[in-house]
Structure 1
């Protein structure tokens, strides 16, 4: 035995490497029946698979140029990261965009910008930018709601995102007076750290379902009564990433905590069917919305991607005839999506936000319904210029998902569906989640929302307006790629936005329905803190 050990110890290191490579080669040639490349090219073939596995990272950091990568390019991600860190988010030496590409946005500035007088709330607080409309005002809900921020967190559930990511976003929303949409995974403890909450549910009715998986009004009312921070309810009909398709949460991911929040059994796959069981047809949807609003007293809305328009037409007719229906409508673009979806759905099913929103808005305008509905845009709108375009088309609020994820550390690894997100944002892996410092990330989320509002407000003032709600379809041009070269949104989509009732920012600051626990004195203190921050720009 000693002789064998002595012989092995005398073998040089390079020989050990050759032995290991020889074993791998023998295995590849004689025993590998799955991979043709490594069978035909032993050892070398493994390098190919290794390069393929890190291909996205190589393209993201080395190969792709600043404006090339999708879904968010390096410049876009850089702006979000810099805004979230409250660092310099400017760029120098002019734009590097191809300003003649189709659908390029041009904001038409005014000859004389809007002047902020000293009695305007924005004179001392450049981040104050609430919604110009009140949810539930037309239908006289018992608890109407005016969101204090025009940009808010879109539907992303606990389960899809990690506990630390959800809590970071919720605390960041509280600091910036934004609301936090729960996503369809139910109301978790991590949604209860200070922010206003929009409770969102889909076909699985997680958090408000009975033992058979059906919708429970009793549980809905109980949840609302016990959680006053829930300010509105959203019924998900479909989402941009995979409209008309249900989902499966593997039993292996169902922890005891998730099972309790979602009211599902531990260890069993959880099915979200493609259709709702609580109602049938468009009329049934309207009645369902009214029942929830009546029982809870809250504004109730719907969220959907846009495809065929006949059902939207039917919804508008019923709302016009009955005076009932959703208080707000969230239009999700086909380019959206934070979780897992088949490529065929993510790439081809449902319209992009730009086209889908325009079609739905025109239907509601035809039936004189735009004044009574708060329109919410969702789908890569988390940048000031895109938000200005959305407001000019008729949106009243912006919901952001992936942009919010980036503000708390997401690096666009695109591993959301694998439970191996390296930043801990979109995984239930405890070890990976530990890297998220909630206190730090919540501050970053708060800075992203505030700096977004500040920059959008500056663009608004540059166009001669006090609030983005005043943007019109003639204030934004698009390059259209034909001999006309450039058209206004009104010319491109053949409608004009219905003017939004707006008195002044001062009036909004004193609205009794303002959410987010907003108090002007506290807001002023917060601005002073931000001014002391050594990297903030004024």
Structure 2
């Protein structure tokens, strides 16, 4: 009798836990997997001990280490993302380790205003105006140097896309639609970058051909601020996109204009142009018809394309407004292993080659450079800015903010947290109202960290950090300046004088009066 009572009480208790898990919205895993999901949180709690004595270190996991994921999780929840007792990295003996060189003195003490890191609402606009140098009708200055990268509805669930869009609206950032078209989930208040892929989803006719009239109607129907032409993706360049049949719902079929029941493979190349000359003609046509800034996104492989592009843009009669360089270490929902592991240069190598090509042509102030590929962590983003990036796009890190646990099930449609799936049950566990706030928290925290490190380097904006401010350690107790590692000439990676002056006046409008240091009673002018 006593055993039955114990079993009965246990069943009632578990039923209560299950009911609570199913009705709460804070944790996607508990909502999708009631009761048993608690095991993960218990294992996570004792994780430091398990890793220290049995399994692995905080830095050993890939693509993102536990330290990196934990930082995003804590930032998105407004929890303490600081660490105690100092670094656990073997700094002197790590090859490729990044060191940011702070300055002892700076032109002005850092500001204490909201825009300088002492409040949740951290404003950190881009240093360049997209479309400004080419006189686009709807040129604009992005309000955030950190924006959400291209992830299509289809690769991600509708709830995930809605969370991203609501989140960027809260954070004042931009949301790239990805090549999968513009869905209702993208229309939740966030400003958009509409991406045109090789299949022309969202702007194609019944035969799958590009349709300019449909593009114009589409961008006028939503808060589209710019257009990005996708040439390739870092994780699978030259392959085209792939949406597995398991992820194609009736809604996706309608938005993309594709059949259900079979994989949706985008072509590897565009049908509208076949060289740099025809590409620039097409870009200018779109820019003139829509009035929007138009840029390109590409991984970096052969150099001839970039040399030809810089040469043809030197005449300044045609050109792209921005270039998004995607590193080979970037993410994807589904791709062959050989492509994710070996095709396309990693971000730093590839970006440096592209930037150097445009620097030699004297064009770096006329084009906005955007980096992507694991740049959603402060140290990686700072190196991107030092190399000459004006903004960074982030993708997998926002997925962590939405609840992703790096299960690496994106290609199976069985994402346990409802982020990268079209399964209705799994997707329902992700609550856009809650997760959008977490995304905004993460974006604001990353901007705040970038701003505080910039101030440590004596400048008011990460775009003013140059290649001399960073060293790369070689693993043998020596370091090499970033400029030497990538062969940068003096001045490369830095903004031109006019751009530097403009962004400084924006970030430090009252630099002489609003500082952390009180006026000195003894210092002389």
Trace 1:137-536 onto structure 2 (pairs within 5 A): 137-227=132-222, 229-481=223-475, 485-495=478-488, 496-500=492-496, 501-503=499-501, 507-508=505-506
Which residue in 1 is equivalent to 2:62? 70
Kindly indicate whether the alpha-carbon contact (under 8 Å) linking 2:176 and 2:193 is maintained by their aligned counterparts in 1. Answer: yes
Deviations 1:18-75 (A, max 9, x none): xxxxxxxxxxxxxxxxxxxxxxxxxxxxxxxxxxxxxxxx999772321100000000
Which residue is 2:90 aligned to? 98
Gaps of 5+ in 1: 1-57, 512-538
Is 1:111 equivalent to 2:109 in the alignment? no
For residues 6-29 of structure 1, what are the alpha-carbon distances to aligned partners after superposition, in whole Å with 9 as ceiling and x for unaligned? xxxxxxxxxxxxxxxxxxxxxxxx
SS in 1 for 2:265: strand
Q: Cα deviation per residue 1:266-311 (whole Å; 9 max; x = unaligned)?
A: 4454331111111111111111111110111000000000011011
Corresponding residue number in structure 2 for 1:32: none
How far apart are 1:101 and its partner, in Å? 1.4
Q: Could you tell me how far apart the structure 1 residues matched to 2:147 and 2:163 are?
A: 14
Output the CA distance in 2 between the equivalents of 1:510 and 1:204.
45
Select the structure of larger CA radius of gyration.
1
Structure 2 distance, partners of 1:203, 1:245, is 11
**Displacement after TM superposition at 1:246 (Å):** 2.1
C-alpha displacement of 1:146: 1.1
CA contact (8 A) 2:248 2:422 kept: no
Which residue, out of 76, 79, 91, partners 2:71? 79
Q: Distance between the aligned counterparts of 1:156 and 1:98, measured in 2?
A: 35
Deviation at 1:249, TM superposition (A): 2.9
Hey, what does 2:126 align to over in structure 1? 131
Question: Quick one: distance in 1 between partners of 2:234 and 2:393?
Answer: 13
Q: Please state how far the C-alpha of 1:456 moved relative to its aligned partner.
A: 1.0
Offset, 1:494: 1.4
Moved more, 316-325 or 342-351: 316-325
Relative to structure 1, the CA distance from residue 439 to residue 487 in structure 2 (aligned partners, 3 Å threshold; closer, same or farther) is same
Quote the offset at 1:508 in angstroms: 3.6
Q: Secondary structure at the match of 1:329?
A: strand
Give TM-score scaled by structure 1 length.
0.80
Q: Does the residue aligned with 1:204 lie in a helix, a strand or coil? A: coil
- Measured in 1, the distance between the counterparts of 2:158 and 2:495 equals 41
CA distance in 1, matches of 2:117, 2:372: 29
Q: Is the 8 A contact 2:386 2:494 kept in 1?
A: no
CA apart distance, 1:118: 6.1
- Separation of aligned partners in 2, 1:293 and 1:250: 33
Q: Shift of the alpha carbon at 1:481? A: 4.4
- For residues 297-352 of structure 1, what are the alpha-carbon distances to aligned partners after superposition, in whole Å with 9 as ceiling and x for unaligned? 00000000001101110011011124311100000000001311111111111100
User: Contact 1:407 / 1:441 at 8 angstroms: preserved in 2?
Assistant: yes
Bigger mean CA deviation after superposition, 400-409 or 255-264? 255-264
Give the superposition deviation at 1:121.
Answer: 4.4
- In 1, Cα distance between the equivalents of 2:147 and 2:374? 13
Distance 2:198 2:94 in 1: 40
Partners of 1:184 and 1:383 lie apart in 2 by 25
Equivalent residues of 2:198, 2:266 under 8 A apart = yes
* Partner Cα distance (2:302, 2:255) in 1: 34
Q: What is the Cα-based RMSD across aligned positions, in Å?
A: 2.2
Number of residue pairs matched by the alignment? 452
TM-score, with length taken from structure 2? 0.82
